[in-house]
Amino acid sequence: MLIHALPLLAPALLIAAAIYLHRGPADDPARAARLAEGASLGAALIALASLGLLIAKGAGDSVNFGLFGAGVSARLDAVSITMLLLVSFIGWIVVRYSRTYLDGEARQTHFTIWLLGTLAAVLVLVQSGNLVQFVLAWIATSLCLHKLLLFYPERVAAQRAARKKFITARTGDAALLIAAILLIFAYGTPRISEILEAARLGEGGTPAALAAAFLALAAILKSAQFPTHGWLTEVMEAPTPVSALLHAGVVNAGGFLLIRFADVMLLSPLTLAGLVLIGGFTALFGGLVMLTQPTVKASLAWSTVGQMGFMILQCGLALFPLALLHIVAHSLYKAHAFLSSGGAVTLVASIRRPGPVAVPSLANVGRAFALAIAIYACVYLASGALLGFGAKSPQAVALGAILIFGVAYLLAQGLADAAPRALTQRTALLSGIAAVSYVALQRLAEWATWGTLPLTPPPGDLEWALILLALLSFGLVALAQATLPLWSHHPAAQGLRIHLSNGLYINAVEDRLLRGWAWRGTPSTSMTPTTTGEGAKA
C-alpha cells in the first residue's frame, strides 16, 4: 500500500532541506540552522505518525518504486519504527544543539548540510525494504559522516581518525555487498521481507550461511569492534555534535544490521559464536580502558566501544529484542552524555573534591561482594516474578546474571565497612529500580517485537561453553573492579593501568600500518579550517 511509504517522507524532507541549503545563499547561517532544525523536527513528527500507521494498519512493505523489487521502499515493522523514532529524535536534538554550538563558524552551513545528509541516509537505511536500497544507504551514511569527521582538516588527529574510518568503512561496505549478492543468489529476490520469511523456514543453504558470516563482518567493522575500534576513540577532534550523532544509527548500525537479518544469522551458529567472542572481549576491553582515560570525551568514546561490544554479544546470543533495547537505551543516554560533556567538566571543576571511595576491608571483601550478588539476585528474581519472566532462554538468564555482576559492584560499595548509611540506602534503592526497570523494559521489547524477530533457539554445546565463558569473564572483572582500591597501588597494577590507558597500543599499531597509505580523503570541496576550534568549545 502506498500509505506505507509515509516513513520515506522523513528522509525526503531532510534531503530537500540539504539541497536547498546547498543551492541557496550561504551568507545567513542562522537562517540555515533554523531551516535545518525545522526539517529535523518535521522528520521526527513523520516518524511519530508512522508509529500511528503501524498501530492502525499493522506491519508491511510499501509499494516498491523501481524494477524487480529493487527500487525505493519502506519496511514498516516494530524494528524499523523503533529506529525511525530513535534516529529522528536524536537527530533533531543534535541539529538543535549544533545551531548554538557552531554559531560563528565560517562553514556552519556546510556542516549543517552534511549533518542533514547523514541523518537522511540513516533514516533510509533503517526502513529499507530491499537489499539494493539498504546497501546504498549504508554506504551513503559512511560517506556523509566522513565529511563531518574532517570538519577541521588541518588537524593531524582528525585526518588519522577519518583515514581509519574510511578504510574500515570501505572494507565493511565490501562485506555487506558480498552478503547482499549471496542473499539474492540464495533466495532469488532482493526484497528483505521475502528473504526473512524464507530464512525463518530454514531455507537458503550454504550461500545464506556464508551471507551471515559477511553480515557479521560488516557489523563488526561498522560498530568499531576490536581491533578496528581506533577511529571511534579519536573522533574527539570532530565537533561534539558529531560524537552525539554517532549514536543516531551510525556506530550502532552494525547491531541494527544483525537485528534486521536475525533470521539469516540463525542459519549460521558458528557465526553467532564468533560474535559472542568478539563482542564479549570488546565489551570487557572497552570498559576497562574507559576507566583509565583522563578526559571526559575519551572516556565516553571508550565506553561506546564497550557498549557496542555488549550489543554484538547480545546478537551473538540470539537475544535480538534485547539488543534492540540496548541500542535505544545506550543511544539516548550516550548522546546526552556527549552533548553535556562540557557542562560536566565545568560542574566537576566547581565542586569540592569528593572523599575516598568506600570499599570493604581485605578480610571482608569476599563476604561483601558475595552478599551484594545474593541480595541483588533476589531483587532481580523478585522483579521477574512480579512482572512475569515467562519461559526464559538460558541466554537471557546469563545476560541477567551479567547484569547482577555489574550492579553488585555498586551494591558492594554500599555494604563496605566504612560506607555511610545514606550511601547504603541510595545504592539499595537504585539497585532495586534498575532491576525492575530492566525486567519491565525487557518484557516490553519482547512483546513489541513478537512475530517480527525470531525466538532465541536452545543453546547447543558450543553455546553453553560460550555462556559459561562470558559469565566467568564478567564475574571476574566485576570482582576485580570491586576490590580495585585494595590492589591498585601494586607495581604490576600500575603498569597494567598504563598499558590500558593506551588501549594496549592497538591504535599505534594501526597508525603504523596505515602510515604508508596515500591519503586522498580531503577533496577540494571539503570544509576549510576555522579560527574557532573544538578545544575552545568542549
For 67, the grid coordinates are 524494477
How crowded is residue 311: how many other Cβ atoms within 10 Å of its Cβ? 30
Residues 6+ away with beta carbon under 8 Å from 248: 86, 87, 90, 91, 94, 119, 122, 331, 335
Any idea where the domains of the chain sit in the sequence? 2-209+226-255, 357-508
Answer whether 153's CB lies under 8 Å from 230's CB.
Answer: no
Cα separation of 175 and 228, whole Å?
15
* Cβ atoms of residues 144 and 113 within 8 Å: no
Rounded Cα gap, residues 70 and 190, in angstroms: 6
What is the CA angle 92-56-12, rounded to 5? Answer: 35
- Could you check whether the bond before residue 7 is cis, i.e. omega within 30 degrees of 0? no
Separation of alpha carbons 417 and 487, rounded Å: 17
Phi first, then psi: give them for residue 12, nearest 5 degrees.
-60, -40
191: helix, strand or coil: strand
| Block residue for cell numbers 562485506 | 175
Is the pTM of the predicted complex or chain greater than 0.85?
A: yes
- Chain position carrying cell 526464559: 392
Residue 53: how many CA atoms within 13 Å on its side-chain side? 25
Calpha distance 28→92 (Å, rounded): 20
Distance CA 71, CA 125 (A): 13
The C-alpha atoms of residue 302 and residue 229 are separated, in whole angstroms, by: 9
Nearest to 290, CA basis, from 46, 503, 49:
503
Per-residue pLDDT of the chain (538 residues; tens, 9 = 90+): 566 678 889 999 999 998 888 887 656 778 888 888 899 999 999 999 988 888 887 776 665 555 455 577 888 889 999 999 999 999 999 999 988 888 777 778 888 889 999 999 999 999 998 999 999 999 999 999 888 888 877 777 777 778 888 888 999 999 999 999 999 999 999 999 999 999 999 898 899 999 999 999 999 999 989 888 878 887 777 788 888 888 887 889 999 999 999 999 999 999 999 999 999 999 999 888 888 887 787 888 888 899 999 999 999 999 999 999 999 998 998 888 888 876 655 544 455 555 454 455 555 566 666 767 777 677 767 766 666 655 678 888 888 888 777 777 767 666 665 666 776 777 777 777 877 788 888 888 888 888 889 988 888 888 899 989 988 888 888 777 777 767 767 777 778 778 777 778 887 777 777 765 544 444 433 443 333 344 334 3
Grid cell 565506553 in the structure block, residue: 303
Taking the C-alpha atoms of residue 296 and residue 246, their distance in angstroms, rounded to an integer, is 17
How far is 73 from 3, CA to CA, in rounded Å? Answer: 11
CB 259 within 8 A of CB 79: yes
Which grid coordinates belong to 386? Answer: 512480579
Q: What is the dihedral of CA 156, 160, 165, 171, to 10 degrees?
A: 140
Do 82 and 324 touch, CB atoms closer than 8 A?
Answer: yes
User: Are β-strands 75-76 and 60-61 bridged in parallel, bridged antiparallel, or unpaired?
Assistant: antiparallel
